[in-house]
Homo-oligomer: A and B are copies of this chain.
Amino acid sequence: MTALQAPPSASEVLSRCRELVRPALEEAVAGLHPWLAEMAAYCFGWCEVGGAPAAAPGGKGVRQALAVLGAEAAGADGRVGVPAAVAVELVHAFSLLHDDIMDGDGTRRRRPAVWQAYGTGPAVLAGDALFALAVQTLAGVARDPGALGLLSAALADLVRGQADDLLFASRPRTGPERVTPAEYRAMAEGKTGALLGCAVALGAALGGAPEATVTALEQAGRRLGIAFQLVDDVLGIWGDPAVTGKPAGGDLREGKKTFPVLVALASPAAGRLPELLGRPERAEEAAALIEAAGGRAAALAEARTHTAAARALLAGTPLAAPAAADLLALLDFLVGREL
């Protein structure tokens, strides 16, 4: 009889998976053209411009963890999911690199974005290299083309979501051409959900899971992604800057059309909200109006719906117990335990 142990926390799960994946990710990146490998390493926080080693903050590694846990949930060793983990982390880095160019974001994780540090052209090429490497990594291990179908479908959804996101910025805030909350949900599913769903599904597929399990995990990951984006939207308006690391009300200052904003704009209680958005000095007033018009409550309710759906999908699928617990811990961590 073993002693009772507390289940591992989400940060323990994330850190275990990062350690498992890191050597393979480093090896894949090292196979790139040296110039592109440096940009990739900079993007992952492993080096400074010029190549000197660094330990800058990388991402949390949610996607790689989902891939490892997907393989474990299928009853396989987590190492079986590592190529899937490498592929999805490469795709994630590719999308950050290119999105920062498109969005004109000069800073990423408190350092200059790759296009700022190395130039736009080189950053485009480094993104392309990561994209190609992701496909190559998976093509090298997948025994059937289904895995590449999952990855390429997620890539297509990711690009479609980014296209919608770019176009939303130029749509009006009011009138028949305004962005609807349903359109926003579809965008978030493409831009955030598709790759999370792909990560856990790919891991499960490499782990030998039956197709129904792969599909259920893919759906659960997508629901998690939508919920995560909605919670991120709420934090982007009402979050504590000390916790989020972003300025208070930053999304309102920039006039971003996030879910709470779109719900409020569609409500008769919107009042002068359209005029306040994008005006930094009126951000507090805008936040109060959005809350009064039900934007915050609707976003949290919608996030709760998707989180519950993800939990139900996990509960209704036969999964190896420790990995199922780790997946739930990760879900709680990403969307908040209270949802």
Contacts and interface: CB of A to CB of B under 8 A. Distances in A.
A150 to B, nearest CB: 9
Contacts of A167: 35
A153 B155 CA distance: 18
Given A101-B120, A131-B128, A149 B145 contact: no
Contact of A156 (B125, B129, B145, B153): B129
A135 interface: yes
Contacts of A153: 136
A144 B149 CA distance: 12
A120 B122 contact: no
A102 interface: yes
Contacts of A102: 121-122, 124-125
**A35, A127, A131, A132 — most chain B CB neighbours (10 Å):** A132
A125 B155 contact: no
B148 A135 contact: yes
Interface in A121-160: 121-122, 124-125, 127-129, 131-133, 135-136, 139-140, 142-145, 147-149, 151-153, 155-156, 158-160
Q: Count identical subunits in the complex.
A: 2
Interface string A15-50: 000000000000000001101100000000000000
A129 B33 contact: no
A321 interface: no
A163 interface: yes
A136 B148 CA distance: 8
A103 B135 CA distance: 25
20 contacts: A35-B163, A35-B167, A36-B160, A36-B163, A121-B166, A125-B159, A125-B162, A125-B166, A127-B128, A128-B155, A129-B156, A132-B152, A135-B148, A136-B149, A136-B156, A139-B145, A139-B148, A139-B151, A143-B145, A144-B145
Given A32-B160, A124-B124, A129-B156, 18 more contacts: A35-B163, A36-B160, A36-B163, A101-B120, A102-B121, A102-B124, A103-B121, A125-B163, A125-B166, A128-B131, A128-B159, A132-B155, A136-B149, A139-B152, A140-B149, A144-B145, A145-B147, A145-B148
Interface of A: 32-33, 35-36, 98, 101-104, 120-122, 124-125, 127-129, 131-133, 135-136, 139-140, 142-145, 147-149, 151-153, 155-156, 158-160, 162-164, 166-167
